[in-house]
Amino acid sequence: MSAAALAPGAVPPDLVRAQENAVVEMVQIGAVAEELADRFALAGHRLYLVGGSVRDALLGRESGDLDFTTDARPDAILEILSGWAEAVWDTGIAFGTVGARRHGSTVEITTFRADAYDRVTRNPIVAFGDSIEDDLVRRDFTVNAMAVELTADERRFVDPHGGLAALAAGVLDTPATPEESFADDPLRMLRAARFVSQLGLSPAPRVVAAMTAMAGELSRITRERVQVELTKLICGTHPRRAIELMVDTGLADQVLPEVPAMRLAIDEHMQHKDVYTHSLVVLEQAIDREEPGSPDLVLRLAALLHDIGKPDTRRKEADGRVSFHHHEVVGAKMVRRRLRELRYPKAIIDDVAQLVFLHLRFHGYGSGEWTDSAVRRYVADAGPLLDRLHKLVRSDSTTRNRRRAAALQRSYDSLEDRIAQLRMQEELDAIRPDLDGNAIMELLGIPPGPLVGKAYKHLLALRMERGPVSREEAEAELRAWAAENGLG
């Protein structure tokens, strides 16, 4: 067909084929995929590299796992993998998915799907499809609905929904209507926010509209699945953009309602639109203090949530100023409640809550008036979180007054210098009383029990207050304490 015979705006077939060939060349196919393709071809089946594996290859992003789809049914997949894979698992075989490992690479191979959904849960009524087009239309987003056929005589790029153009334009859209897609699986709305964070994509207007209208459907999803997506979102490259999308569409009301609630509390310094905006700036500044390429989930959560206690502690003072007394105490409790509800591990909950609890402690430092005892307590209370606390406190300075910002940083420099000096002198990271539990029991002649713990705490407080003392001084203090508490 000549170019003149084409419809207006149509692309000549030769040019289309050239573009497809160029895309295929961009997708580097590793040895494991080559071997797998040969085995499927010998068995008379088609095999496609699909979804995130293709998307990430086009973006130049590393992708540890390889996802494939095929016309082979699960039993045939297992037969093809037999004798080739070093390990095979079929936990997802009811959904048509078989996993395998070869030469350190993990692969997942799924039979073409043409599922329906009950739209009560997110569980599909599994139905196998007969074509790659059936499979791709059911995927979440067009950038994940691209495939490369590996078993054809000449590799073929398959992109029926314009995923490549969307990727080039930085647009996140759905193959079907977003209403259909999100009704099938509401978790896709949170995945949309996650891809905004990870890939820097912007959702299409119709996607935003559907997310806004259907945010309540996220309640159908288990908290564990929500937490997995939220964690990936927080640890992405652009978490602020994703959080703003969640707040604007109402998704945050379903996941982290304390975040949009901060829009109601005006920052006491009157330098920001609200505490919500301030918290987003603190998050970005905390990210800037991370080691490159090593997102810190605990630090990022603490930065985002450090002021969530402000709405509940907001008071208007007689002089017209707004105060948030003890918001760090209230906020730490709120953090524990929310992260538990999201099924985060206890260690993460404890660390984030402690950072929130401690984030204001520095502001009592003034211009360096803290005693050595106060510095010791600061270090002891932070424990292994001290480095993160340093980053959080420095990030919490968002004032536009350059002189004030510089003064705050100098003050914190001074505190860090004090900590370094005391650490050299006293091994602050391992502060212990000058007498251990065995010495306490021997000196007082008491058996193990609560009294030993009380004596230990007394000696620890003494250690914090005075620093190291001699054994004789410690024993004298312990005897005096025992006499005051009626131990003879």
Residue 90: predicted pLDDT: 92
Q: What is the pTM of this model?
A: 0.80
Specify if 8 maps to a domain.
no
For the chain, the three-class secondary structure string (H helix, E strand, C coil) is CCHHHCCCCCCCHHHHHHHHHHHHHHCCCCHHHHHHHHHHHHCCCCEEEECHHHHHHHHCCCCCEEEEEECCCHHHHHHHHCCCCCEEECCCHHHCEEEEEECCEEEEEEECECCEECCCCCCEECCECCCHHHHHHCCCCHHHCCEEECCCCCCEEECCCCHHHHHHHCEECCCCCHHHHHHHCCHHHHHHHHHHHHHCCEECHHHHHHHHHHHHHHHHCCHHHHHHHHHHHHCCCCHHHHHHHHHHHCHHHHHCCHHHHHHHCCCCCCCCCCHHHHHHHHHHHHHHCCCCCCCCHHHHHHHHHCCCCHHHHCEECCCCCEECCCHHHHHHHHHHHHHHHCCCCHHHHHHHHHHHHHCCHHHHCCCCCCCHHHHHHHHHHHHHHHHHHHHHHHHCCCCCCHHHHHHHHHHHHHHHHHHHHHHHHHCHHHCCCCCCHHHHHHHHCCCCCHHHHHHHHHHHHHHHHHCCCCHHHHHHHHHHHHHHCCCC
Same structural domain, 274 and 418? yes
Q: Which of 151, 169, 187 is the last residue of a domain?
A: 169
Same structural domain, 381 and 401? yes
Same structural domain, 216 and 335? no
Residue 425: predicted pLDDT: 64
Structural domain span for residue 443: 432-484
Residue 206: predicted pLDDT: 98
Please tell me the total count of domains within the chain: 4
Q: What does pLDDT average to over the chain?
A: 86
Residue 341: predicted pLDDT: 97
Residues of the chain under the 50 pLDDT cut = 1-11, 267, 271-272
CATH number at residue 130: 3.30.460.10
Specify if 224 maps to a domain.
yes
At 347-381, the pLDDT tens digits run 999 999 999 999 988 877 666 677 888 888 888 88
Residue 2: predicted pLDDT: 38
Residue 26: predicted pLDDT: 66
